[in-house]
Structure 1
Amino acid sequence: MLGIIGGTGLTRLAELQILAEQFVQTPYGEPSSNILTGELNGETLLFIARHGFEHTLAPHLVNYRANIWALKSLGVEEIVAVNAVGGIADDCSTGDLCIPDQIIDYTYDREFTFCDGPGVQLQHIEFTEPYTSSLRSSLTAAAASAGISVKDGGVYGAMQGPRLETAAEIRRMKRDGCDLVGMTGMPEAALACELELNYASICMVVNKAAGLSDEPITLDDILAATEQTVVHAKQILVSLCDARRS
């Protein structure tokens, strides 16, 4: 079964025909929201709002472990995450969509593993490819089928948040090879890997990163860009479900 993690701009999926809504208690506490079971273009899937349905959870306060555990416990085998990001690379402009293939983790003090309790078997997960290539390919194919242009590949730099980055931090990230900057990509991807779930992301570029534009970054501009870009992200999800059904 497919699970969708909706981020900023996708706290609700209006196209989803909701069949059930349930609260899931996990060994790691409460998930960010209730889990919605529904049909999208004929495909049954689960949906969770990463920041809560009212978008009240800051990136560093999201209970990533509970979210991933809850989806797994309900039968999810593949997760598509939707993330709002800033563009660092020259070819990652506001309004673009990207299906990243790599991550650099700059976050700290987050609950980043399931392997930290008494009696829990230690895992050293193989994380060379943090995003599942087959699921990434399905997303790029779904985008092409929907007539939507996406950047195939890219390095997602996960920052702590909730503040935006300084220009110096972005310069460092660019030297490190990051194409995108966001706040929610980790530990989500690693936790999915620990539970042997396929995982990929649709990244919506909603602003140029700090210091890379002559214009100041404003929340109003970010929200406006998110509202426009999420339309295409949802079209990719619909196209993906159509392909999975056929």
Structure 2
Amino acid sequence: MAPSASHPTTTTLDGGPVAVIAGSSFLQSAHHWLGDGACLSRDVTTPFGDVAVTCATIAAVGVVFVQRHRCTADRAYRIPTRINFQAIWWALKHHFNVAAVVGIGSAGSLRRDIPVGSLVVPDDYFSPFHIVSMSEDESSHAVPGFHTALRQRLLSWTTRLAAANAIRVVDEGVYYQSRGPRFETKAEIRAMARDGDVVGMTCANEATLANELGIPYALICSVDNYANGVSPADTLTLDGFRQATKEHLPIAEVAFRAALGALGLETKAS
């Protein structure tokens, strides 16, 4: 993706706190990922509803952690179609004034040559079906995509940390967002595979709102399953997916450390 006005080639992270948004691999308390002594859970009131976040300070930098599936005041699990993306991004922009955001998503592989257990740093996304927005003015016409420089930093950190843990990294690809909340049919997956490399249900919404609000955003995906029908030897089941996300916690931790490194928190990432 060529640099443009929406995707500058430099990223300055010292203009405010930074944020990580994570999902199915991070249903444990954020304290597990940020350290018990550093965390403060809080609710933020927005015009779109309240948002539950965890705040920490790492290397003198403020970090906001959002568990996208448990970001309401009651911390109850929300399926992808019930996640309040507008509230999350209003809080990140207008309450915290974050300088950059990295999303971590669980994804299904649309290709047999992208194996389960790998990490993918997508360079584009496909999501024309339900486009979110929180603007009524010209800012809603933002050019979509991942932030070039932040994505390169994320890829660099992912490659470095994955090599030390024998994890395969796919350095580009298209994130295909399906509507959810059910998994996709085999016929749908065959169609998706013509345009995408991995499939998920949430992160294109985040990238779209980030661009609309002018916040640098990049994405790293943990491949937790083959999409329905991609691998005849690996039948997709909900129980199997849940088990895979548990087994892939060490991979998710590498993704989290790479996110912190990309956001300028090298001490915590190393």
Measured against the shorter chain, the TM-score band is 0.7 to 0.9
CA distance in 2, matches of 1:35, 1:45: 10
- State the match for 2:116 in structure 1: 94
Instruction: Report the CA distance between 1:242 and its aligned residue.
Output: 5.0
For the Cα contact (< 8 Å) 2:127–2:176, is it kept in 1? yes
Q: Structure 2: which 5+ runs fail to align?
A: 1-16
Q: Deviations over 1:173-224 (max 9, x none)?
A: 112x200111112321100111111111111111111111223211222122
Superposition TM-score, scaled by structure 1 size: 0.87
Other-structure match for 1:181: 199
* Greater helix fraction, Structure 1 or Structure 2: 2
Structure 1 residues 212 and 227: alpha-carbon distance in aligned structure 2, compared to 1, 3 A threshold: same
Q: Does 1:231 align with 2:250?
A: yes
Residue 151 (structure 1) aligned with residue 170 (structure 2):
yes
Backbone CA RMSD of aligned residues: 2.1
User: What is the aligned-residue identity percentage?
Assistant: 31
Structure 2 partner of 1:131: 146
Question: Gaps spanning 5+ residues in structure 1: where?
Answer: none
Instruction: Give deviations 1:2-48, integer Å, cap 9, x for gaps.
Output: 201110021333131334222111112223xx111114577531101
Q: CA deviation at 1:226?
A: 1.3
Deviation >3 Å, runs of 4+: 39-44, 120-123, 239-243
SS of 1:51 mapped into structure 2: helix
Tell me which residue corresponds to 2:14. Answer: none
Secondary structure of 2:66's counterpart equals: strand
Structure 1 CA distance for aligned equivalents of residues 174 and 258 of structure 2: 24
The 5 Å alignment of 1:208-219 reads 208-214=226-232, 215-219=234-238
Per mean C-alpha deviation after superposition, the further-off stretch among 40-49 and 218-227 is 40-49
Amino acid in structure 2 at the alignment position of 1:183: M
SS at match of 1:169: helix
The TM-score with structure 2 as length reference comes to 0.80
Check the 8 A contact 2:109/2:226 in 1, yes or no: yes
Distance 2:173 2:218 in 1: 12
Question: Could you report, residue by residue, the CA deviation over 1:45-74 in whole angstroms, capped at 9, with x for unpaired residues?
Answer: 110110006561010110101111111221
Report the Cα distance in structure 2 between the residues aligned to 1:24 and 1:52, rounded to whole angstroms. 14
